[in-house]
Amino acid sequence: MTYENLLVEEQDGIITLTINRPKALNALNTQTILELQHFFGEDAPQREHVKGVILTGAGDKAFVAGADIKEFLSLDTQQGQAMAQRGQDTFFLIERFHKPVVALVNGFALGGGCELAMACHLRIATENARFGQPEVSLGIIPGYGGTQRLIQYLGKTKATELLLTGDMIKADEALQLGLLNYVLPAAEALDKAKEIIKKTATKGPIAIAKVIESINAYFQYDEDGFAREVAEFGHTTGTEDFKEGAAAFIEKRQPDFKGE
């Protein structure tokens, strides 16, 4: 696929994926969703050498300021459900990606933008970032996982308030509430995202993938997260990476993981 709304840049094994619709405040239209779906479903999984992905928005005003509301106006019930399902399926690809995905939120993350940031494994925000699910102000509800993931991160009480009022919160409050890992000046945020990915890249790649799977299992209604942890722990003990990691620990050296 030729990307129209995504910029893909790779440096030192780290991909910076930029949603590039600054005139529309990087709003998620159908084309952008399809491109994200292709990138995380087909493109990125083939790049086994990649250490992780930093997802951000073009410009300094918005990460993603929401969905493209113009596309909603002609939807009937069935079409609306199909759109929401496509968005959820795409965001699950991000959440389940086997290497770290860090959202670098550089401005407004509203509606679909907040949902997109929450689908990433980690979130770093610049000081001007704003978060919210304002869909009720338009007479609709979040459709890309917002009613579910916001509760996971904030708890039911605060998430319910934000979902019912449509209020925005600033980056410092989002940090206090547990939505963010860091709030940093714009000049430092990208370096921090790269630092985290470089650190995870020194760990066992199979172990990293299995941690992500086990964390996601905690939130799956039809799965026992503890049972999943047992299964994946057993899987990792049978790998060459574990033998190498244990030997390196005993020999007081850095491990040389092969992903095997």
- Residues with a known catalytic role: 115, 135
Q: Dihedral sign for Cα 60, 64, 70, 71, please.
A: positive
- State how far the Cα of 25 lies from the Cα of 45, in Å rounded to an integer: 28
Q: Which of 77, 99, 104 is nearest to 190 (CA)?
A: 104
Contact (CB, 8 A) for 86 and 172: no
- State how far the Cα of 189 lies from the Cα of 174, in Å rounded to an integer: 16
Pick left, alpha or beta for residue 25 (phi over 0 → left; psi -120 to 50 → alpha; otherwise beta).
left
Q: Which of 109, 125, 104 is nearest to 67 (CA)?
A: 109
Where do we find the tokens 């401005």?
107
How does DSSP assign 18-65, residue by residue?
EE--GGGTT-B-HHHHHHHHHIIIIIGGG-TT--EEEEEESSSSEEE-
